[in-house]
Amino acid sequence: MWQALDIETWIAGRRSDLDRVKGPVSEIIGRVRAEGDDALFDLTRKFDGIDLEEIAVSDEERMAAYDLVDARLVESLVEAEERISRFHELQRGRDLWLQEMEPGVTLGVKTTPLSRIGAYVPGGRAAYPSTALMCTIPAKVAGVAEICCCTPPPTNPITLVALDIAGVDEIYRVGGAQAIAAMAIGTDTIPRVEKIVGPGNVYVTAAKMLLRDEAEIDFPAGPSEIAILADSTANPVFIAADILAQAEHDPNAACVLVTTDAALADAVTEQVKRMAAGAARREIVEKALDHSGYIVVGDLDEAVATVDGIAPEHLSLQVADPLGILNRIRNAGSIFVGPYAAVACGDYASGTNHVLPTAGYARLYSGLDVNHFCRRSTVQMITREGLEAIGDVVETIADAEGLHAHAESVRVRRRG
């Protein structure tokens, strides 16, 4: 249950599960590579207990899902889609920009959207229509031509509606590591993609990492986690509520409170125990709390250093001067500033993306955004005048490196 933590041990434990499952996941990938759709049918029977008739979800099934979803929920998904799209539109850069750096030398960048991407939307314990929106909307905003999605069976009508609202082209009822393998390698039913995005359990995350040579991935994403940096001014009820919200995601979710106030840690502990006892998903929450807890530090400098060492997926700042702390944070997937910025707002409707790096990978990767779905090519336009301006520099350095043909390719133009 919720406890005082040794932070170094906790951080190391966040990645140990990935190493543990890489062997079994490699076997799954090998089967999909060798057997294609047949492996998907068999592995779905084995892991999900479902005999699939079809892997692809038909347009008729997609449309019929609207009749099974409450109208108010459909309206909420539409509103969330609008908010998420609006935020991601702000990230979209120019398709092409050119700048004359000096007479005759014009440089720039051409941005090209990917042609085909795959999104993974978890299922099983719950429906995740929010993840369906988060994975696919930035790809749509970026201009990706084809977007497919894999989600475990049985396909939830809510997820189907969300994917339709987001404008997804293809939906497949397959989950787990085998879904990642199918999108990366390709089967008769599921054409291969250029990039795979989306969170999942440890098997999904391991499959993404093992298949990076087959398809680009976003980053390791899942299971979920939160770190809360708090001082004596924080509200223990708000903190405990955020902790329970993360803990109910998955038995392997993890939550950490980093605080300068031992009394706050005690108060949060009492609130966490109280809320966990009445949680609707109590069994999942209690398992997550078994590897969650708090650490009391001496001052805010130590608190910031500790949080940066964790590099959490979600970071909540509940201190007297959150903006002052915000500028000092280096490693975090998404940051929630102030007591009223519930992490759940970012999960659903503020507009930011909730697909974020976990297990300390926020020190290496940024959360999902429009840029993940684009390639950028540098552009240079050089006139004869420009070549004269930089030619001596090119020839001198090329000759020094012993690459004389490089130098000659400039000299021949200058002579001619």
Which tokens belong to 68? 């099974």
**Please, where are the H alpha helices in 36-70?**
37-48, 59-64
Segment 141-179, tens digit of pLDDT: 999 999 999 999 999 999 999 999 999 999 999 999 999
- Residue 15 is predicted with a pLDDT of 67
Tell me if domain 15-217 and domain 223-366 are identical in fold.
yes
What is the pLDDT at residue 12?
72
Give me the pLDDT at residue 19, please.
Answer: 81
What is the Cα–Cα distance from 6 to 394, expressed in whole angstroms? 55
Averaged pLDDT for residues 58-62: 97
Over the chain, what is the mean pLDDT? Answer: 95
Going by pLDDT thresholds of 50, 70 and 90, the confidence category of residue 13 is confident
Q: Is 35 a catalytic residue?
A: no
Read off the pLDDT band of 125 (50, 70, 90). Answer: low
Say yes or no: domain 15-217 is CATH 3.40.50.1980: yes
pTM assigned to the model: 0.90
Active-site residue among 216, 248, 313, 395?
Answer: 313
Domain ranges of the chain: 15-217, 223-366, 383-415
Query: Are the C-beta atoms of residues 338 and 300 closer than 8 Å to each other?
Result: no
Mean pLDDT along residues 18-39: 95
CB 350 within 8 A of CB 360: no
- Which of 314, 354, 372, 395 is labelled catalytic? 314
Please tell me the predicted confidence (pLDDT) of residue 250.
Answer: 86
Q: What is the mean pLDDT of residues 122-131?
A: 84
Give the DSSP per-residue string, 253-275: -EEEEEES-HHHHHHHHHHHHHH
Check pLDDT > 80 for residue 186.
yes
CATH entry, 223-366, from 3.40.50.2000, 3.30.590.10, 2.60.40.1510, 3.40.50.1980 = 3.40.50.1980
| H or E segment to which residue 69 belongs | none
- Least confident stretch, 21-30, 118-127, 262-271, 379-388: 118-127
Confidence class of residue 1 from pLDDT cuts 50, 70 and 90?
confident
Let me know if 79 is a catalytic residue: no
**Cα 407 to Cα 106, 107, 284, 397, distances in angstroms:** 21, 21, 65, 8
Q: Write the pLDDT tens digit of every residue in 278-311.
A: 999 999 999 999 989 999 999 999 999 999 999 9
Instruction: Measure the CA–CA gap between 72 and 361, rounded to whole angstroms.
Output: 37
